[in-house]
Structure 1
């Protein structure tokens, strides 16, 4: 079948091509209701589909952005994607989502693919490895915004959590509840900001309170090894009384091991997780969580990118926007006193 063109629509509706163009671009200021209705009926009757590629070439914009997440399984990544999509929908931008699996090779391929498809900009949760590629995009003023991570020496704005503070408030909460032996498990990925900063905050909180840093209570593991790592930690002569899960995937593995071994929370092991999980409120006991304001972070990232695309403003290239974590306290981190301790207080 012959492709229906704008000229065909204009002829059928008895208007000019420029009037059709104005209609398609929603410029109705000087267009009568009768003309709008006639064009709409003609488009439906002829089953006209605008040539998006041709329009993009003419306007020098595809009204599309790319979002490359490090691992789409993270709750945080899903929240970022949803928020960015909501913001873009309000401005008639489209979103293409890619999952890099924290693999710099996949990340590089996705960046090159998105740029080849001429997306107007990219929101990126960077692996931190493709430094020269990041620098090239910044040098050529290609619109990019980092989320969740920073990359030293790269002049691209970043929007992320105050991760050190997240580690600190979790440890301080444990200490305030009387716990002395406190561990942390994260899944280590080279050059990833949150993992390093959360461990740093954990250490600083211990030192501020006069506690020694015990290396056997700190484990940086692949997610698949988290359960084994916790088993080793709990087999120590002095096992931890409390454990901080560095992110949602680590928390899930910790809870799996706890269930297998019939470990009681918080009697045998108190638990706090960083990053919200959907089941935190109805898990028994309720899980204490350090929440990231993912909606605020995603909204800020989308607004920064769209501003760069629409205004070509690159003056704030080095800005880093950090957001405060929020602790939601539930039963998993509250110390259960022994009968002897209870009697001393009565």
Structure 2
């Protein structure tokens, strides 16, 4: 079957090729409605598909960005990516989303693959272990934005939560309800994953501010599938924790699973707060108190910031990180020990 060309569309619509090009690029300033209608009808009748590769070469833009998330299983990653896609869709940009699984090698392959496909910019939830690649993009003035994490000595703007404050809000609320033995479980600690480090630091500082002990046996950084065993150890201590702060949504899920399996009543036998306001938190029984991130605002800013860089509206990356405030969502999963 013969490939339909722009010249075929122009002939069918009785206009010039340049007019068809202007129509395809949405430059309608001097184009009448009847002309637009004829071109639209010709495209429909002929089944014309623009040559995206040729247009990209001519315009020096693929109108595409890449998003590399650290772990797509996180509710945070899903919601932020959705907001980024919304922003890009409105700007007529396509979005390619890749999942790095917190694996630096996989992240490296995706960065190289997406750049080989000539995407116009990248939004990365960085593993932190590809510093040479990050610096190379900076040196080349390649548009890139980080989300959720910053990387020391790599001045790429990052969209982040006030992570220390998130933990502080949780510990403050536990303390307000009369809890003194407060544990925190988070995913494996990695100094390159700034959000996890900051949440643990915020937890420790909040305990100290309330005059509570910072106990090593109450702080664990583990894979989610280890949560059951760790909780069994903690709750078998001479002084078991009264409250658990789950460092993210994956840990919270495992804590709730443990409570069901072992017949612990959340909000009575054990108080729980999770960082990340997962969709089921409000209708789980009992409903779960969480620390919410403004995920859609964060994703929107990440998308807008990258498009600004692509469109040369912002200069080389010496800008500070952008921090967003967490919000305590009070529900039913924290027992009021002051009533005892």
> TM-score band, normalised by the shorter chain?
over 0.9
Q: Residues 219-267 of structure 1, C-alpha deviation per residue, up to 9 Å, x if partnerless?
A: 0001111111111111111100000000000000011111111111222
| SS across alignment from 2:311 | helix
Residue in 2 aligned with 1:199?
A: 200
Distance 1:315 1:135 in 2: 12
Supply the RMSD in Å over aligned alpha carbons.
Answer: 1.1
Unaligned runs of 5+ in 2: none
Residue in 1 aligned with 2:270?
A: 269
Distance 2:79 2:118 in 1: 25
CA contact (8 A) 1:150 1:158 kept: yes
Q: Residues 97-127 of structure 1, C-alpha deviation per residue, up to 9 Å, x if partnerless?
A: 0000000011000000000000000000000
Unaligned runs of 5+ in 1: 342-346
Residue in 2 aligned with 1:30?
A: 30
- 1:209 deviates by 1.2
Residue in 1 aligned with 2:111?
A: 111
- 1:312 deviates by 5.5
| SS across alignment from 2:26 | coil
Equivalent residue runs for 1:138-153 within 5 Å: 138-153=138-153
- 1:285 deviates by 0.8
| SS across alignment from 1:331 | coil
| SS across alignment from 2:111 | helix
Distance 2:112 2:166 in 1: 34
| SS across alignment from 2:145 | strand
Distance 1:169 1:48 in 2: 57
TM-score between both structures, scaled by the size of structure 2 = 0.97
Distance 1:317 1:55 in 2: 32
Residue in 1 aligned with 2:336?
A: 335
- 1:81 deviates by 0.8
Alignment pair present for 1:209 and 2:205:
no
Give the total of aligned pairs: 339
Distance 1:203 1:45 in 2: 67
Divergent runs of 4+, >3 A: 315-318
Residue in 2 aligned with 1:75?
A: 75
CA contact (8 A) 1:291 1:326 kept: yes
CA contact (8 A) 2:179 2:337 kept: no
- 1:318 deviates by 3.9
- 1:315 deviates by 3.8
